[in-house]
Every structure is written in C-alpha cells, then in structure tokens.
C-alpha cells in the first residue's frame, strides 16, 4: 500500500460527515472524513473510539462536558460515553474504531 493524503481524500468526499474507510488494523478500522460546521447528533459506541483532528477543530460534548480538540490533537472517547458534535467543527478528522461500530 502507498501513502495516503488524508486531507485530499477527505476533501474529495461528496458529503461532509460521510467517512471513508482507509483500512483495518486488527479488529479496528481507520476512517477519514470532512467536518463542515454542522452539528452531529448524540451517539454511543460499545468500544473506545479515537478521534484525531488533522486540521481545523472538533467541538464535542462528551457525557455533558464540552471538549475542544485542535489540529494535531487526539481525543479518546471511552466505550459507552454519550458524545455529540457541536456546530463550528471543521476540517479533517481521522477516526479509529472497531469495525461495524
């Protein structure tokens, strides 16, 4: 496999918040997506989820607490934690989660 330009892949996606699976590592999948300032409804996952902001900013609420994740920062959402995206999130996001989540 060759190197992947994550920002370019995310920019080429037809819809924001629609992720593209880049590959799998064990039982986890690595996805990239483009954020577009719009909010995303609350969700929970059975397993931990890693959120890596490549550029821009991710504005989250995790179990009722506001969290701002900037470019180059990684945030781990614990299994079962309620989380949602607030308006204003923008840029490129990489997600690592269990396949099928």
Give the pLDDT confidence of 10-56 residue by residue, as tens digits: 999 999 999 999 999 999 999 999 999 999 999 999 999 999 999 99
Q: Which range marks the domain in which residue 55 is found?
A: 6-98
In a domain, 10, yes or no: yes
CATH number at residue 42: 2.60.120.10
Q: What is the pLDDT of residue 77?
A: 97
In a domain, 56, yes or no: yes
What's the Cα-to-Cα distance from 27 to each of 4, 70, 98, rounded to whole Å?
21, 27, 6
CA angle in degrees (0–180, nearest 5) for 32-9-47: 10
* DSSP sequence for 33-73: EEEES--EEEE--SS-EEEEEEEEEEEEEETTEEEEEETT-
pTM of the predicted protein model: 0.92
């Amino acid at each position: 496999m060759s190197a992947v330009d994550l920002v370019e892949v995310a920019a080429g996606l037809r819809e924001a918040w629609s992720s593209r699976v880049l590959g799998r590592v064990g039982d986890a999948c690595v996805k990239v997506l483009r954020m577009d300032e719009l909010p995303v409804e609350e969700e929970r996952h059975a397993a931990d989820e890693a959120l890596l902001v490549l550029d821009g900013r991710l504005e989250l609420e995790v179990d009722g607490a506001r969290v701002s994740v900037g470019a180059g920062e990684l945030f781990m959402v614990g299994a079962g934690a309620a989380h949602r995206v607030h308006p204003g999130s923008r840029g490129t996001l990489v997600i690592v989660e269990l396949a099928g989540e």
